[in-house]
Structure 1
Amino acid sequence: MPGLTVLLVAICVMVLLLVGGLWIAVAVGWGGLIALYPILGGKTLTLFGLTSWDTSTSFVLVAIPLFVFMGELISSGGLVQRLYSGVSKAISGLPGGLVQTNLIACTIFAACSGSSLASAATMGRVAYPEQ
């Protein structure tokens, strides 16, 4: 099967799955499997499974939910709101105060928590009502 035909079939499958209401990750995964099958043959599912397993057992990715959970605990305790309001009062005279407050508060929280992803999730939740 020519490469362009495989590409068009994979794109059509992805679009049909998305229109059908399937999640984006699942639709893209099925499109990728369909596109790889003519190239790799029977090894496609083995490669897909091994790649998924290696990615999901990565030490960095396994720790992310725990950092986000820690950020949620700190946020529910009120510490992040106090940090945000304190930084906001300290730099209220600068132009672009909301952006500057977000940058400084995210930097401080990321340094304390050790995770920029947890910082973005937690500070986004706190900063959104401040708009």
Structure 2
Amino acid sequence: MGMKTTSAYRFGVGAALATAFVLAWVIGAVGLVGIEGDPFDLIYAGVLAVGVIGAMIARLRPLGMARALFATALAQASVAVIALIAGKHHVEVSSVLEILGSNAFFVTLWVGSALLFKAAAREQRPG
């Protein structure tokens, strides 16, 4: 039996893919924490891995995707905490506000996508 995709589901997919693309692009272009090319930025591959593995576990079902993207948002927030613990805010180009702000931006996008999937799951339920 095929899954009926709703507009909330399609927007959720679009938001998740766009967020992943922008995160990868920013990391590749200028880096998110520290100076350009800082090896610390490789930790963001873990954030993307949480999303991909979560989507595989969810088998792309809306409620599972919502959970996977909430987990991805948590992973993104964890990177900000790890960066601050590692002292990355002492680098000339990365203040505490910049680290928290840039990561909060991506956390917000992941959560937005998760909420779209949650809405799609509600739309699938009868009644």
TM over 0.5: no
Structure in which a larger fraction of residues adopt helix: 1
Q: TM-score, normalised by structure 1?
A: 0.29
Larger Cα Rg: Structure 1 or Structure 2? 1
Which one has more relative contact order, counting CA pairs under 8 Å at least 6 apart? 2
